[in-house]
């Protein structure tokens, strides 16, 4: 059980990724085009939306469990490969050292070789897993959470998220006794010393060779996280004059008042330094927030639209774009007006990826800043997304605000409501009645989405309406009911 350390209602207009896991089947209740109330339950006990995450020192984020987890993952890998190799990267949390050692021991005990990458963004681990032809990539990170949390997530040999079946296979083994291999078959460990340099070159390769960032002043905020050395180097080597923020980690300051979840510091520094752009990443650098010279903040929905604009201007045949249930209706309308299809996946970048692969499309994303360009990388990458947005502005010779002048976002309010368990609010007849009442009031001019978080002990209440006051009023009423 997570410790309840979160204050009451935190409001904002930035959607985030979440999902709930539990013991029963998927259930969904939808109000067409307006209210969406979705509960998702899986038979998994440990895996959530993006791997396993929790408070360090409390189950499951303890050294003994993490060792057992790695041992079980190794056994699953050995079902199809005699001598698997896994890569392990991490962000800058102080607990990363402890969990890295536990993972290493667990894999070695199952006869799996380990390559340690050191601090590296999540998408960097995904890239190197594919480039090194490894069996699996492992990331030690709790993404945008505070330092006292940590987690483990996995990438396939192709650098993509693993499916539910794989996670269920691992969980099944967690309930069985370990099968230690003989000493002669124990795995070995080594370190890849140039991991950061290889990933820097990969990021730069996704930026069109006929363009340069020379003459641009860019503030880069790495959230004191995994990209604290890598992000400034990428922009500097492409020609930009770089000012850094959130690039001095001490093991306990990751995401603290900086980064994609706290963009106010970036906005202030962009204005202070008269910079052209500001780029904010989160702790593991897979999400992006973007600021222009006026200090205007652009969320993931808007950035997805900008990335789409450039592809259309270049004559690329995109087919369509994937958003989520949280994507702002105004962005959907603008993309459709470009002659493209737009579909909404469940919240979570893994579901956006699944929809893109199903339709053979390349662009998708979430308002939180998880953006996918599958012709550039196999997973969401904050650095590569930033380069794609900059590329859009350079080619159009316009600032983001100019390119978005005809996209008037619907006001969106998001409240985070602490909860002790997933069942009580879900079974509330009073909440259901209140939702139905507000659905009628909104009509076709708004949407409501209530979902449990898959990464924090929270219920997310999102209300979208044509008027902000109306959205705030409805969101507060629903949050109070929960």
Query: Does the pLDDT of residue 412 top 80, yes or no?
Result: yes
pLDDT at 446: 83
Band the pLDDT of 163: cuts 50, 70, 90. confident
Token representation of residue 338: 């470009």
> Quick check: helix, strand or coil at residue 400?
helix
Average pLDDT, the chain: 89
| Parallel/antiparallel/unpaired status of strands 217-221 and 277-281 | parallel
CA atoms within 13 A on the CB side of 357: 11
Is the four-CA dihedral 307, 310, 316, 318 of positive or negative sign? positive
375 touches 318 (CB < 8 A): no
Cα-Cα end-to-end distance for the chain = 19
pTM, rounded to two decimals: 0.84
pLDDT at 43: 59
- What is the rounded CA–CA span in Å between residue 475 and residue 50? 26
Q: Would you name the residues annotated as active-site residues?
A: 143
Burial of 91 (0-12, 13-18, 19+ CB in 10 A): buried
pLDDT digit string (tens) for 336-390? 999 999 999 998 888 999 999 999 999 999 999 999 999 999 999 999 999 999 9
pLDDT at 93: 98
pLDDT digit string (tens) for 182-238? 999 999 999 999 999 999 999 999 999 999 999 999 999 999 999 999 999 999 999
- What is the rounded CA–CA span in Å between residue 421 and residue 16? 20
pLDDT at 442: 87
pLDDT digit string (tens) for 41-72? 345 789 987 899 999 999 999 999 999 999 99
354 touches 364 (CB < 8 A): no
pLDDT at 456: 74
Beta bridge pairs of residue 155: 137, 161
Query: Does the pLDDT of residue 423 top 70, yes or no?
Result: no
pLDDT at 421: 66
Domains annotated for the chain, with CATH where assigned, are 10-42+410-481 (3.30.310.50), 52-193 (3.40.120.10), 199-403 (3.40.120.10)
Per DSSP, 410 falls in state P
pLDDT at 426: 82
pLDDT digit string (tens) for 87-120? 999 999 999 999 999 999 999 999 999 999 999 9
CA nearest neighbour of 89 among 8, 191, 160 = 191
pLDDT at 455: 66
Query: Does the pLDDT of residue 20 top 90, yes or no?
Result: no
Token pair 């067409």 is found at 32
- What is the rounded CA–CA span in Å between residue 475 and residue 482? 11
Work out the angle between the directed axes of helices 164-174 and 63-77 (0-180°, nearest 10): 120
167-188 CB burial, b ≥16 within 10 A, e <16: beebbebeeeeeeebeeeeebe
Residue 141, phi-psi category: left (phi > 0), alpha (psi -120 to 50), beta (remainder): beta
Q: 303 preceded by cis ω (within 30°)?
A: no
Residue 5, C-beta contacts closer than 8 angstroms, at least 6 positions apart: none
Q: What is the DSSP string of 242-311?
A: EEEES----SS-TTSS-STT-THHHHHHHHHTT-SEEEEE-TTS--EEEEETT--EE-HHHHHHHHHHHH
């Amino acid at each position: 059980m997570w410790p309840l350390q979160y204050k009451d209602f935190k409001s904002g207009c930035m959607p985030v990724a979440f999902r709930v896991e539990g013991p029963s089947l998927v259930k969904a209740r939808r109000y067409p085009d307006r209210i969406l109330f979705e509960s998702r339950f899986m038979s998994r006990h440990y895996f959530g939306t993006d791997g396993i995450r929790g408070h360090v020192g409390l189950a499951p984020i303890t050294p003994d469990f993490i060792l057992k987890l790695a041992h079980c993952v190794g056994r699953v890998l050995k079902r199809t490969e005699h001598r698997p190799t896994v890569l392990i990267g991490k962000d800058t949390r102080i607990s990363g050292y402890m969990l890295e050692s536990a993972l290493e021991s667990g894999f070695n005990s199952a006869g799996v070789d380990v390559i340690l990458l050191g601090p590296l963004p999540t998408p960097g681990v995904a890239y190197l897993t594919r480039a090194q032809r490894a069996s699996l990539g492992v990331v030690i990170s709790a993404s945008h959470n505070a330092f006292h949390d940590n987690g483990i997530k996995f990438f396939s040999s192709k650098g993509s998220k693993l499916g539910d079946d794989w996670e269920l296979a691992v969980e099944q083994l967690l309930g069985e006794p370990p099968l230690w291999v003989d000493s002669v078959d124990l795995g070995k460990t080594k370190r890849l010393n140039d991991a950061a340099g290889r990933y820097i070159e990969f990021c730069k390769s996704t930026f069109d060779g006929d363009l340069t960032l020379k003459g641009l002043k860019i503030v880069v905020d790495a959230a004191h996280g995994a990209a604290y050395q890598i992000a400034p180097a990428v922009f500097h080597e492409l020609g930009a004059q770089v000012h850094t923020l959130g690039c001095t980690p001490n093991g306990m300051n990751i995401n603290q008042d900086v980064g994609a979840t706290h963009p106010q510091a970036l906005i202030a520094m962009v204005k202070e330094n008269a910079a052209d752009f500001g780029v904010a990443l989160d702790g593991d650098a897979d999400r992006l927030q973007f600021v222009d010279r006026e200090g205007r903040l652009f969320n993931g929905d808007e950035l997805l639209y900008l990335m789409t604009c450039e592809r259309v201007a270049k004559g690329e045949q995109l087919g369509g774009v994937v958003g989520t249930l949280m994507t702002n209706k105004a962005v959907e309308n603008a993309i459709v007006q470009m002659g493209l299809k737009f579909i909404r996946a469940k919240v979570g970048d893994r579901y956006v990826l699944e929809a893109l692969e199903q339709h053979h499309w390349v662009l998708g994303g979430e308002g939180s800043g998880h953006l996918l360009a599958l012709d550039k990388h196999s997973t969401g990458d904050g650095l590569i997304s930033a380069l794609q947005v900059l590329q859009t502005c350079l080619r159009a010779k316009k600032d983001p605000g100019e390119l978005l002048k005809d996209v008037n976002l619907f006001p969106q309010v998001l409240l985070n409501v602490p909860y002790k368990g997933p069942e009580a609010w879900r079974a509330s007849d009073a909440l259901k009645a209140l939702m139905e009442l507000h659905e009628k009031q909104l009509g076709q001019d708004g949407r409501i989405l209530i979902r449990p978080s898959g990464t924090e002990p929270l219920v997310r209440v999102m209300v979208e309406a044509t008027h902000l006051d109306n959205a705030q009023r409805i969101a507060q009423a629903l949050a109070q009911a929960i």
